[in-house]
Structure 1
Amino acid sequence: MATIGPDETPARPADRRGGGAGAVWLREDPERTRRAAPLTRERIVEAAVALLDAHGIGGLTMRRLAERLVVTPTALYWHVKTKDDVLDLALDQIFGEVPLPTSRGEWRDDIRMLTSAWRTEMLRHPWAANLIGRPMLGPNVLSCTEFLQSTLVRGGLTGVRLAVVTRLLANFVIGAALTDATWRQIDDPGARAGARRHITSNPARYPTLAASGHLDESQWVDEDLFVRGIDVILTTPASDRT
């Protein structure tokens, strides 16, 4: 049997890939490694987004967040001070999932791509729209807003017109996402059809709504209405862009 000198290091079976009998005891336990990993703000935000997706804003508590991370609530406060901190970080994380167009093509196309992606992410995380209105100064939010405004500037908008159209687009995306997400959360597949029947059963009272197809899914798909709405905002006459 070979001996090992004082300056030599023995081979480590755990470094080998695969393994036979007994190899399981020479590999690190992935679950134990995950739990032992240092708590970071990134891990906190990831867990918070998962909780918000599953339970909504009311279902997020610091205690529940700590349980998900397998830490004590006190450990969280080394990284965040309040639940508001967590909500702000989670919301900014959602904006980080919005891909910014890189082609810098026709400016209206870039706006359409940005707003459609923004709406998609807000529908994936339906709690997010309810948090809009908080001071939004996170890096991802500001990057999206910077891209939005710089693209509008490429389209010739300046001054108050730039401010107005920026707000129109942002509010339209948020409102559309909030409305669409609310309908999707109603646990009744016939809810929209029932609302439409309520209108059409009262044509004398709601003649325009009955005639226009309001809430009629067979005529108007949410995605199509959203895209057309963005086009309406973007087709403001150039003479108004002052």
Structure 2
Amino acid sequence: MKPRNGRRGGARQSASLSQKTIVAAALHILDSEGPQQLTMRRLARELSITPMALYHHVRDRHELLLLLVASRSRGRERPILPEDPRERLLAAAQLLHDVLAQYPFLHEILASPDLLAVSSLWVMEALLDAAVDCGLPLEEAVRAHQAIWHFTVGVLLIRTTSHQHHAELTRPTQRERVFATLSPDDFPRVSSLADRWSSLTARDTHREALEDIVEGLLGGRPAHPGEHG
């Protein structure tokens, strides 16, 4: 007798699922449809199973994201950082940006301590170690890490949100419309830049700003490699 409504066949298919298969399907949705579409229901449809069957393999979206973070990190060689402490601090700060930028579900990475620890804990260690070797006491190294962290997160969130917003726009932005009506008498600086603002701010200046921040954090401090106060 054939299975009614295909349920037995569906059960067999669910039993044959692996986390590797689930991760591959989730990555496909991320790449083709974006993070907003990655729901447990959408993933179940991609795998041709019921959402309930999917929950037998992945507890919830949080566990799914943990699997995705692990899949992006697995087998990736950690780069060798420069020996010079300042250059190492700068390289580690750039790594923080590059590690976080690879996750399209960035907002959830930032909101979850679990996901964050998996994705960037080793970069945090490298940042702190380089800052200490640059002469900062450990407590000041933590503040330096936070300054670099906040800057990096801000850059990535603004970039991600801006790209998404502009992709959906079919009209000039609100800023462009406001700039077009500015009075030079009231806003002389802004109005003089109004027609060039988009081109001036479109360039990726992350690296240059990062160098300025590191220089400001360290100032004229001499490096003391190996001193971990």
Q: 1:146/1:117 Cα in 2 relative to 1: closer, same or farther (>3 Å)?
A: closer
Q: Is residue 2:127 matched to residue 1:148?
A: yes
Q: Is the 8 A contact 2:131 2:141 kept in 1?
A: yes
- Structure having the higher Rg: 1
Q: 1:103/1:169 Cα in 2 relative to 1: closer, same or farther (>3 Å)?
A: closer
Query: Which residue of 1 is the match for residue 148 of structure 2?
Result: 169
| Selected match of 2:21 from 43, 56, 73 | 43
Q: Is the 8 A contact 1:149 1:166 kept in 2?
A: yes
2:23 maps to a residue whose letter is: V
Query: Which residue of 2 is the match for residue 6 of structure 1?
Result: none
Q: Is the 8 A contact 1:196 1:215 kept in 2?
A: no
Offset at residue 165 of structure 1 (A): 1.3
Offset at residue 220 of structure 1 (A): 4.2
Which whole-Å deviations, capped at 9, do the CAs of 1:11-49 have from their partners, x for residues lacking one? xxxxxxxxxxxxxxxxxxxxxxxx899533343334323
1:172 maps to a residue whose letter is: F
Query: Which residue of 2 is the match for residue 109 of structure 1?
Result: 87
| Selected match of 2:61 from 63, 71, 83 | 83
Q: Is residue 2:42 matched to residue 1:64?
A: yes
Q: Is the 8 A contact 1:111 1:151 kept in 2?
A: yes
What percentage of aligned pairs have identical amino acids?
23
Offset at residue 234 of structure 1 (A): 0.6
Q: 1:141/1:46 Cα in 2 relative to 1: closer, same or farther (>3 Å)?
A: farther
Bigger mean CA offset, 73-82 vs 154-163:
73-82
Q: Is residue 2:172 matched to residue 1:195?
A: no
Q: Is residue 2:196 matched to residue 1:218?
A: no
Decide which structure has greater helix share. Answer: 2
Offset at residue 171 of structure 1 (A): 1.8
2:36 maps to a residue whose letter is: G
Offset at residue 86 of structure 1 (A): 1.5
Q: Is residue 2:214 matched to residue 1:230?
A: no
| Selected match of 1:127 from 105, 111, 131 | 105
Q: Is residue 2:174 matched to residue 1:160?
A: no
Q: 1:127/1:120 Cα in 2 relative to 1: closer, same or farther (>3 Å)?
A: same
Q: Is residue 2:157 matched to residue 1:178?
A: yes
Q: Is the 8 A contact 1:98 1:118 kept in 2?
A: no
Q: 1:162/1:118 Cα in 2 relative to 1: closer, same or farther (>3 Å)?
A: closer
Offset at residue 77 of structure 1 (A): 2.9
Which whole-Å deviations, capped at 9, do the CAs of 1:91-115 have from their partners, x for residues lacking one? 4555669864314333343444444
Offset at residue 179 of structure 1 (A): 0.9
For normalisation by structure 1, the TM-score amounts to: 0.64
1:153 and 1:93 mapped to 2: Cα distance?
A: 31
1:62 maps to a residue whose letter is: M
1:48 and 1:67 mapped to 2: Cα distance?
A: 11
In structure 1, the gaps of 5 or more residues are 1-34
Offset at residue 134 of structure 1 (A): 1.4
Cα-Cα RMSD:
3.8
For normalisation by structure 2, the TM-score amounts to: 0.67
- Greater RCO (Cα-Cα under 8 Å, separation 6 or more): 2
2:21 maps to a residue whose letter is: R
2:141 and 2:55 mapped to 1: Cα distance?
A: 40
2:208 maps to a residue whose letter is: R
1:97 and 1:190 mapped to 2: Cα distance?
A: 44
Say which SS state the counterpart of residue 157 (structure 1) adopts. Answer: coil
